[in-house]
């Protein structure tokens, strides 16, 4: 009985391996836990596959991404890709996980609104530039397609928001924001309108919109809307009125 071990960053990718193992009817189960071999060839294979996935996604978009093409480009056999990464979804999730380790500089202008403007301008610049934006766009779209991808995306953004919270922490220290401000929420408020257009509504995004989103977030933060205390207003009433829903509805 052959057991594939769990490799770094690929816990989800080995699910089908475990599942296959469990379906093998061995009347004498071997309780021994296999020792992972994450180094050498395995590490090289992963690096080659991640690189090939990113290249394929950048070139063909998420919809054109196939296991066959990644196999060809990476020189890794497709059986390995299916075994270790389950399929396209696992490849995307792993590529995203690999991208999450990138460090990135935070703006520090001494003014919160300007910091936020720089953040939103960068998001705008990257995602509206065909060359810069192809890979991240495709990765986000691809990641949404599966539980594994969505989990990797959540981890990615959660970490990014936590890091970017520093711009608000500095503003608090400067006395620009009230103590107890949730810095990650400030960054979310600033970037959400951009990602909303880019990835939900598909409406056009311009530099002015990016700037305005930052300004609105800064204004709200200064007004104390993002303090971790609950709002001063009473809780919603127990009888919500019929309201508008801008989302799609199930057809009757």
Partner DNA sequence: CTCGTAACGCGACTAAAGTCGCATTACGAT
Partner DNA sequence: ATCGTAATGCGACTTTAGTCGCGTTACGAG
Interface residue with a second copy among 70, 171, 177, 213 (CB under 8 A) is: 213
Residue 181: phi, psi to the nearest 5?
-70, 130
User: Does residue number 248 form part of the binding site for a second copy (CB under 8 A)?
Assistant: yes
CB of 130 to a second copy, least distance (A): 13
User: Does residue number 121 form part of the binding site for DNA (CB under 7 A)?
Assistant: no
Interface residue with a second copy among 230, 234, 238, 239 (CB under 8 A) is: 230
Tally of CA atoms within 13 A in the half-sphere of 84 that contains its CB: 24
User: Does residue number 202 form part of the binding site for a second copy (CB under 8 A)?
Assistant: yes
Beta pairing partners, 181: 227
User: Does residue number 99 form part of the binding site for a second copy (CB under 8 A)?
Assistant: yes
Partner whose binding site includes residue 36, from a second copy, DNA, none (CB under 5 to 8 Å by kind): DNA
What is the spatial distance between Cα 242 and Cα 251, in angstroms, rounded to a whole number? 18
Partner whose binding site includes residue 40, from a second copy, DNA, none (CB under 5 to 8 Å by kind): DNA
Residue 191 contacts residue 168 (beta carbons within 8 Å): no
Partner whose binding site includes residue 28, from DNA, a second copy, none (CB under 5 to 8 Å by kind): none
User: Does residue number 110 form part of the binding site for DNA (CB under 7 A)?
Assistant: no
Q: What is the DSSP letter of 109?
A: -
Partner whose binding site includes residue 100, from a second copy, DNA, none (CB under 5 to 8 Å by kind): a second copy
List all residues 6 or more positions away from 208 whose beta carbon is below 8 Å from its beta carbon: none
The sign one gets for the Cα dihedral 190, 97, 131, 78 is negative
Partner whose binding site includes residue 241, from DNA, a second copy, none (CB under 5 to 8 Å by kind): a second copy
Interface residue with a second copy among 106, 169, 174, 180 (CB under 8 A) is: 106
User: Does residue number 43 form part of the binding site for a second copy (CB under 8 A)?
Assistant: no
What is the spatial distance between Cα 103 and Cα 100, in angstroms, rounded to a whole number? 8
Residue 44 or 162: the one with the smaller Cβ distance to DNA is 44
Residue 89 contacts residue 149 (beta carbons within 8 Å): yes
Residue 25 or 233: the one with the smaller Cβ distance to a second copy is 233
- Which tokens is 37 given? 């071999």
Which residues, 22 to 61, sit near DNA by CB under 7 A? 32, 34-42, 44-46
User: Does residue number 180 form part of the binding site for DNA (CB under 7 A)?
Assistant: no
List all residues 6 or more positions away from 139 whose beta carbon is below 8 Å from its beta carbon: 54, 57, 62, 92, 95, 96, 99
Helix (H) or strand (E) holding 54: helix 40-60
Tally of CA atoms within 13 A in the half-sphere of 78 that contains its CB: 10
* Binding window for DNA (CB under 7 A); candidates: 75-83, 153-161, 172-180, 218-226: 75-83
Which positions lie near DNA, rule CB under 7 A?
2-5, 7, 16, 20, 32, 34-42, 44-46, 66-68, 75-80, 82-84, 86-88
């Amino acid at each position: 009985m052959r057991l594939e071990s769990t490799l770094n960053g690929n816990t989800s990718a080995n699910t089908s391996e475990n599942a296959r193992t469990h379906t093998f009817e061995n009347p004498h189960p071997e309780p021994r836990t296999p020792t992972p071999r994450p180094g050498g060839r395995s590490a090289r294979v992963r690096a080659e596959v991640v690189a090939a996935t990113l290249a394929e996604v950048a070139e063909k978009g998420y919809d054109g991404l196939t296991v066959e093409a990644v196999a060809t480009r990476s020189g890794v056999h497709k059986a390995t890709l299916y075994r270790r990464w389950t399929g396209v979804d696992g490849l995307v999730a792993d590529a995203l996980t690999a991208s999450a380790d990138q460090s990135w500089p935070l703006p520090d202008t001494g003014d919160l609104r300007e910091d936020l403007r720089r953040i939103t301008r960068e998001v705008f610049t990257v995602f509206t530039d065909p060359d810069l934006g192809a890979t991240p766009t495709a990765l986000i779209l691809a990641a949404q397609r599966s539980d594994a991808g969505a989990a990797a995306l959540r981890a990615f953004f959660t970490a990014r928001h936590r890091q970017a919270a520093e711009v608000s922490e500095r503003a608090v220290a400067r006395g620009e924001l009230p103590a107890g401000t949730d810095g990650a929420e400030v960054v979310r408020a600033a970037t959400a309108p951009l990602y909303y257009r880019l990835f939900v509504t598909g409406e056009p995004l311009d530099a002015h919109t990016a700037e305005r989103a930052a300004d609105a977030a800064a204004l709200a933060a200064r007004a104390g809307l993002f303090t971790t205390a609950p709002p001063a207003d009473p809780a919603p009433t127990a009888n919500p009125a019929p309201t508008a829903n801008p989302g799609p509805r199930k057809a009757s």
